[in-house]
Amino acid sequence: MAIVNPDFIQDIREFGADDLSACFNCGNCTATCSLSDQYNSFPRKMIRYSILGLEDEIQASVDPWLCYYCGDCSSSCPRQADPGNLMMAVRRYLVASYDWTGLSKKLYTSKVWEIGVIGFISLAVLFLFIFFHGAMPTELTSQGGVQLNTFAPSRIIELVDWSVAGFLSFFLLSNILNMYFKIVRTRKDLKIPFKLYLTEFYQLIVHFLTQRNFSKCDTEKVSFMTKVRNGNYTYWLIHFLLMSSYVILFTMIVGFLGWFQTDIVHPWYFPQRILGYYSTIGLLIGIIYFSALRFKRENEKSKKSHFTDWTFLLLLFLTATTGILVHFFRVNGMPMATYYTYVVHLMVLFPMLIVEVPFSKWSHLAYRPYAIYFSNLINKASELAVVKKSKS
């Protein structure tokens, strides 16, 4: 039994949903979706749940994470109810519902909160620098670089990084645990053998690294080369570029700052520099590509942008450009410029990490592979149950 809640439709609208009331349940969206299958049927189900306000059912669903928003459903909707956009809105709603602090919901539904929190963290970083920054030597190293580690010793920043990482991991992991309880443990009817948890784990890694389900959205029956030429893989490629750049930078900055942030000017072929260049270029290409799509609004998937989509892109863009500037100024021996840019860089980097990673858009990096993992667990377990039943 589920109680119908007519007020929910207003809530989901705040997360960016559109005119879903227009839906007349034809089911074209689900029929046209190439990812919807016998186990996970969407998006119509999510529309129906949203209209009826069945929050428990929505929170127990993995479907929004399985959608890669190709937009086929929205373009084939006879009522312009925009089911694809609804899936994105529900995804935001889910991020908020996994977050037990409630901050995520505030960030998603209120611009004041979003800007306030970002501003607060920025200012905190600024004040920390004002009070605790190191000396600002103007003389250069023997290689002609700036002594950045004197101004901001990587050891100390690294400590801050690690505590931030610990903070982020705590929230993100507890949210994932929350997600696990909502999705898997609500299936009281299913017994999931422990072995499955282990055998299915590789899926999580594969999907995290490749996002290969993007390819399932592509149902065109033409040869691989034609698809390459037609740009069928561009979106996936750039998304991959952006994702990998982000992960590399994140790992280097948060995990190995001592190695990454040095005063030595390494030759270009050193891994720090190669990885750094790859990632910054990857980030920039990604940001420009996705921003352009969102500006042009030609594809179904880029037609509608929630304000949090823009803040994520903006923070990422600022982080990347200030990072490049820091590098440029340091290598070219411009000490004061390096120091100030460095402060600004961290003023965007920290809010970006703290707001986006556990509470907002970035978290889909973690939730999506987990959702696929959970959904596989459930599907395999129900298959086993069916086999068992038929045997007995």
For the CB of residue 6, give the shortest distance to other proteins in the complex, in Å.
5
Check residue 45 for interaction with other proteins (CB under 8 A). yes
For the CB of residue 23, give the shortest distance to other proteins in the complex, in Å.
8
Integer CA distances (angstroms), 261 to 146, 159, 186, 284, 391, in order: 12, 13, 46, 20, 62
Burial of 391 (0-12, 13-18, 19+ CB in 10 A): exposed
SS3 185: coil
Which residue is listed with tokens 């809530």?
11
Which residue is listed with tokens 């860089």?
345
Q: CB within 8 A of 132, min separation 6: which ones?
A: none
Q: Which is nearer to other proteins, 1 or 198 (CB)?
A: 1
Quickly count: other Cβ atoms within 10 Å of residue 106's Cβ.
17
For the CB of residue 7, give the shortest distance to other proteins in the complex, in Å.
8
- For the chain, give the number of residues: 392
Check residue 143 for interaction with other proteins (CB under 8 A). no
For the CB of residue 48, give the shortest distance to other proteins in the complex, in Å.
5
Among 17, 29, 51, 254, binds other proteins (CB under 8 A): 51
Check residue 174 for interaction with other proteins (CB under 8 A). no
For the CB of residue 82, give the shortest distance to other proteins in the complex, in Å.
13
Burial code (b: 16+ CB inside 10 Å, e: under 16) for 262-290 equals bbebeeeeeeebebbeebbebbbebbebb
Check residue 49 for interaction with other proteins (CB under 8 A). yes
For the CB of residue 61, give the shortest distance to other proteins in the complex, in Å.
12
The contact pattern for other proteins, residues 4-43, with x = CB under 8 A and - = no contact, is: x-x--x---------x-xxxxx------------------
Integer CA distances (angstroms), 183 to 121, 190, 315, in order: 33, 12, 31
Q: Which is nearer to other proteins, 15 or 171 (CB)?
A: 15
Q: Which is nearer to other proteins, 51 or 118 (CB)?
A: 51
Residues near other proteins (CB under 8 A): 1-4, 6, 9, 19, 21-25, 45, 48-49, 51-52, 54, 57
